[in-house]
Structure 1
Amino acid sequence: MKKLRLILAAFGLILTTTLTAATKPVAVVSSPTSTEIGELLQNPNFLVEQEMQANVTFVLNKDNEIVVLSVDTDNDTVDRYVKNRLNYQKLNVSLKQGTAYKVPIRITSVK
């Protein structure tokens, strides 16, 4: 009987630890938001020789401004460019403030 109680207690401890350690999932943004972010990122100020991709994670502050949390890319130029262009730009799309959103971006050369 003692072993059964010990096993149940261990299972309960593992279950509660797992549930409290789970992170809140990042929401994927909708098409109008992606379009507006794409417009903000048009005409990069650096030479684009090949297509570059990144995932941008951001939140909206109380003024409905973008606050970039991270840019998932290996290219430092793209990282700086995205942060400079997006940080504190107002969005006209209604998203929940304080929620982390993720949007994939692609920067291509215009020929």
Structure 2
Amino acid sequence: MRKLSLVFVAAMLLVTGNIFANNVAKDDPKKDLSIQIGALLENTSFTNDDIDLTAQVRFTLNNQGEIVVLSVDTEDERLESFVKARLNYKKVEISNFKEGEKFTIPIRVAGA
């Protein structure tokens, strides 16, 4: 009887260990999307005079995983054109997205 309870405890420890081992933190798709958008917006031609330019970008993803810019809310036309040219219809790698889901991200031009 003692051996049976010892085997039972060992089996429970093994099962519990496997459960915790499989509980790996999953990547956040929105964070991955944000990183990819940041990479698409790198290497700007803005000067130090253009620091503090900001915009709110609304976009969605189509069925092919491409960004479709809906609006760029900013007072600077150059920034609006830049964001649209860099992001519109650029393919991003994202898992488990819903076609047509709308996203809003803030954009800020930072100095070098």
- Please, which moves more after superposition, 61-70 or 90-99? 90-99
Aligned length: 82
Q: Which has the higher helix share?
A: 2
Q: Which ranges in structure 2 are unaligned for 5 or more consecutive residues?
A: 1-28
CA distance in 2 between partners of 1:65 and 1:86 (Å) = 9
- Please, which moves more after superposition, 91-100 or 43-52? 43-52
**CA 1:97–1:44: 2 relative to 1, 3 Å:** same
Matched with 1:42 is: 42
Q: Which ranges in structure 1 are unaligned for 5 or more consecutive residues?
A: 1-28
Spell out structure 1 runs of 4+ moving beyond 3 A: none
CA distance in 1 between partners of 2:78 and 2:94 (Å) = 27
CA distance in 1 between partners of 2:101 and 2:48 (Å) = 32
The answer on whether the counterparts of 1:38 and 1:105 sit within 8 Å (CA) in structure 2 is: no
TM-score computed with the length of structure 2 as normaliser: 0.67
CA RMSD of aligned residues (A): 1.5
TM-score computed with the length of structure 1 as normaliser: 0.67
Matched with 2:103 is: 101
Identity of aligned residues (%): 41
The answer on whether the counterparts of 1:58 and 1:69 sit within 8 Å (CA) in structure 2 is: yes
